[in-house]
């Protein structure tokens, strides 16, 4: 057992040294999860050489047995500060897939505590009626929309496929595809009240039920007009607060001087803290919500603190399998969710799917998805081996997320992420600072602080989604 422990530690050291010198071990087909073993272990140790060996002394530590030469000083390696964030993402990348993605794609920068950005890069393709509109009439009709008003244009046209026009009247379609869908023209928009005013083109506008979809078409402008007055040519703004993550790693001086069979010192504590940083960042990026107050003040310390919104704080698409106590057949639910995820939101044709262990167990009931997940068709990105899932609506790159298995009910959730519409914005990149507390007379220990301040930019929120299975 003793030799096995030393062997395992040596293997981790080899990988840690490869990362430290910039060697991309994933290109060589080496996976840290193969060395560590249990994929559910979210913290790992990056062992280093023992310190304090004298000349000709046989040293047994985390690098195995080594004879120290005369004049040689065996020290602990330092983290490469400029690239620590990206190199960190290469350690157990599959355990933190979203954090791995965010640290590897081009990050933005901000100097402000409140970061503003354009949330709608591509306008939506449809709107949804919020409540029953007025009765059928030839006059303009005001329609309140529950979603999609931002995508509408003055003088734009809409088609309503839930109605078929026959004999100059719009008749609701219960089954089938209409041969002549109802066509509407927008003559007025109130973005503040999410209301559009329309007139019927091929038939008078009927009373539209709540949840009726109206889909965009080309505009029809006055032939004498020279320019468009559509204010939504400029995307709408959104914002997020920058959240600071700070911890102190401490090793007591006398603890460091004690003889240990296997060295475990400040560098190992740093490695653990860095990986715990990743776990915290991962869960915040996924589950962080919108703060109730603009700027939170700690009622005990009376200090101002900022909290960022994660993916769930941006009102992404949500698909629930069990509704009203009835559990939808798994195959039907997955197809419905994929249709909603890929249709009508102008997102990428290929997206990421991060799913919890419970989600993985339940989708095994779907023979089609089970075969896809068991297939050998994979793609490697950022050191993560993604399983390719082909659907009728678009391609998913899927991986089981062990962190969701440690997050209660979210073990049964799957997050669909469009990489083109998510980004990490840094105010303070990940850095470490050594504290000389002993010289300052504060504490007899070696201390290092790990500090970063960043936020999440989520554009086109409906290109992302959560599947509750």
Q: Which residue has the tokens 């504060």?
A: 442
How many CB atoms are located within 10 Å of the residue 290 CB?
14
Radius of gyration (C-alpha) of the chain in whole angstroms = 28
Residue 139 pLDDT more than 50? yes
Q: How far apart are CA 253 and CA 51, in angstroms?
A: 13
Residue 47 pLDDT more than 80? no
In this prediction, residue 354 carries a pLDDT of: 94
Mapped onto helix, strand or coil, the DSSP state of residue 47 is coil
Which tokens hold the place of 318?
Answer: 């949500």
Residue 438 pLDDT more than 70? no
Mapped onto helix, strand or coil, the DSSP state of residue 149 is helix
- The whole-number average pLDDT for the span 201-214 is 90
Residue 220 pLDDT more than 50? yes
Greatest mean pLDDT among 35-49, 122-136, 339-353 lies in: 339-353
Which DSSP string do the residues of 378-402 spell out, in sequence order?
EEEETTEEEEEEE-SS-EEEEEE-G
The pLDDT-based confidence of 134 (bands split at 50, 70, 90) is: low
CATH for 86-120+237-469 is 3.90.1690
Q: In terms of C-beta density within 10 A (0-12 exposed, 13-18 middle, 19 or more buried), how is residue 62 classed?
A: buried
How many CB atoms are located within 10 Å of the residue 341 CB?
26
**Mean pLDDT, all residues of the chain:** 74
Q: How far apart are CA 118 and CA 303, in angstroms?
A: 30
More confident residue, 301 or 73: 301
Which tokens hold the place of 437?
Answer: 């507390």
Three-state secondary structure string covering 84-98: HHHHHCCCCHHHCHH
- The whole-number average pLDDT for the span 253-257 is 48
In this prediction, residue 252 carries a pLDDT of: 59
Residues facing residue 182 across a β-bridge: 160
Single out the residue of 465, 193, 144, 426 nearest to residue 314, CA to CA: 465
Mapped onto helix, strand or coil, the DSSP state of residue 405 is helix
In this prediction, residue 236 carries a pLDDT of: 72
Q: What is the pLDDT of residues 445-467, one digit of tens each?
A: 667 777 888 999 998 888 999 99
Residue 416 pLDDT more than 60? yes
Residue 315 pLDDT more than 90? no
Asked whether the CA dihedral 400, 404, 408, 412 is positive or negative, the reply is negative
More confident residue, 160 or 99: 160
Q: What is the pLDDT of residues 178-189, one digit of tens each?
A: 889 999 999 999
The pLDDT-based confidence of 429 (bands split at 50, 70, 90) is: confident
The pLDDT-based confidence of 150 (bands split at 50, 70, 90) is: confident
DSSP one-letter code for 431: E
Q: What is the pLDDT of residues 191-206, one digit of tens each?
A: 889 999 999 999 999 9
> b/e for 437-448, b at 16 or more Cβ within 10 A?
eeeeeeeebbbb
Please state, for a pLDDT cut of 90, what percent of the chain lies above it: 20
Residue 317 pLDDT more than 60? yes
The bridge status of strand 243-252 relative to strand 114-118 is: unpaired
The fold of the 126-233 domain, in CATH, is: Thrombin, subunit H (2.40.10)
- The whole-number average pLDDT for the span 213-217 is 90
In this prediction, residue 54 carries a pLDDT of: 36
Q: What is the pLDDT of residues 223-246, one digit of tens each?
A: 787 776 665 545 678 889 898 887
How many CB atoms are located within 10 Å of the residue 451 CB?
16
Helix (H), strand (E) counts: the chain = 9, 26
The pLDDT-based confidence of 293 (bands split at 50, 70, 90) is: confident
Residues facing residue 397 across a β-bridge: 352, 388
The pLDDT-based confidence of 105 (bands split at 50, 70, 90) is: confident
- The whole-number average pLDDT for the span 165-171 is 90
Q: What is the pLDDT of residues 324-382, one digit of tens each?
A: 677 888 888 988 999 988 886 778 889 999 999 999 888 887 877 777 777 668 888 88
The pLDDT-based confidence of 88 (bands split at 50, 70, 90) is: low
In this prediction, residue 85 carries a pLDDT of: 60
In this prediction, residue 417 carries a pLDDT of: 94
Single out the residue of 226, 153, 225, 139 nearest to residue 188, CA to CA: 153
Q: How far apart are CA 339 and CA 329, in angstroms?
A: 16
In this prediction, residue 383 carries a pLDDT of: 82
Question: CATH topology of 86-120+237-469 equal to that of 126-233?
Answer: no
Residue 18 pLDDT more than 90? no
DSSP one-letter code for 137: B
The pLDDT-based confidence of 98 (bands split at 50, 70, 90) is: confident
In this prediction, residue 297 carries a pLDDT of: 84
Q: How far apart are CA 203 and CA 138, in angstroms?
A: 8
Mapped onto helix, strand or coil, the DSSP state of residue 292 is coil
In this prediction, residue 61 carries a pLDDT of: 31
Domain locations in the chain as residue ranges: 86-120+237-469, 126-233
The pLDDT-based confidence of 171 (bands split at 50, 70, 90) is: very high
pTM above 0.75, yes or no: no
More confident residue, 81 or 313: 313
């Amino acid at each position: 057992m003793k030799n096995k422990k030393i062997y395992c530690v040596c293997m981790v050291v080899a990988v840690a040294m490869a990362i430290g010198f910039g060697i991309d071990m994933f290109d060589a087909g080496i996976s840290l999860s193969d060395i560590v073993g249990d994929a559910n272990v979210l913290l790992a140790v990056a062992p280093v050489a023992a310190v304090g060996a004298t000349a000709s002394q046989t040293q047994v530590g985390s690098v195995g047995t080594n004879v120290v030469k005369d004049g040689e000083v065996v020290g602990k390696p330092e983290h490469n500060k400029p690239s620590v964030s990206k190199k960190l993402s290469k350690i157990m990348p599959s355990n933190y897939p979203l954090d791995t993605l965010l640290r590897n794609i081009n990050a933005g920068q901000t100097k402000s505590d409140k970061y503003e950005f354009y949330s709608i890069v591509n306008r939506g393709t449809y709107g949804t009626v919020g409540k029953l509109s007025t009765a059928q009439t030839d006059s303009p009709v005001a329609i309140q929309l529950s979603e999609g008003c931002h995508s509408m244009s003055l003088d734009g046209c809409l088609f309503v496929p839930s109605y078929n026009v026959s004999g100059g009247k719009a008749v609701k379609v219960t089954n089938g595809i209409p041969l002549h869908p109802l066509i509407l023209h927008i003559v007025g928009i109130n973005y503040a009240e999410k209301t559009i005013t329309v007139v019927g083109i091929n038939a008078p506008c009927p009373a539209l039920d709540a949840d009726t979809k109206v889909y965009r078409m080309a505009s029809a402008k006055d032939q004498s007009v020279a320019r468009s007055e559509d204010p939504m040519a400029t995307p709408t703004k959104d914002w997020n607060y920058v959240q600071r993550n700070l911890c102190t790693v401490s090793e007591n001086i006398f603890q460091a001087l004690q003889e240990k069979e296997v060295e475990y010192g400040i560098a190992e504590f740093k490695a653990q803290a860095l990986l715990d940083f990743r776990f915290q960042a991962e869960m915040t990026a996924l589950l962080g919500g919108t703060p109730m107050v603009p700027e939170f003040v700690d009622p005990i310390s009376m200090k101002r603190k900022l909290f960022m919104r994660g993916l769930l704080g941006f009102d992404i698409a949500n698909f629930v399998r069990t509704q009203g106590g009835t559990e939808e057949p798994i195959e039907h639910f997955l197809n419905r969710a994929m249709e909603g995820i890929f249709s009508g939101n102008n997102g990428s044709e290929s997206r990421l799917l991060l799913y919890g262990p419970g989600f993985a167990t339940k989708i095994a009931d779907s023979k089609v998805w089970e075969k896809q997940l068991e297939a050998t068709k994979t793609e490697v990105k950022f050191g993560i081996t993604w399983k390719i899932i082909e659907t009728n609506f678009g391609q998913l790159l899927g991986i089981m997320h062990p962190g969701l298995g440690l997050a209660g009910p979210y073990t049964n959730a799957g997050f669909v992420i469009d990489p083109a519409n998510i980004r990490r914005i840094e105010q303070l990149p990940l850095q470490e600072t050594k504290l000389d507390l002993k010289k300052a007379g504060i504490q007899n220990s070696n201390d290092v602080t790990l500090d970063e301040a960043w936020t999440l930019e989520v554009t086109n929120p409906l290109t992302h989604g959560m599947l509750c299975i």
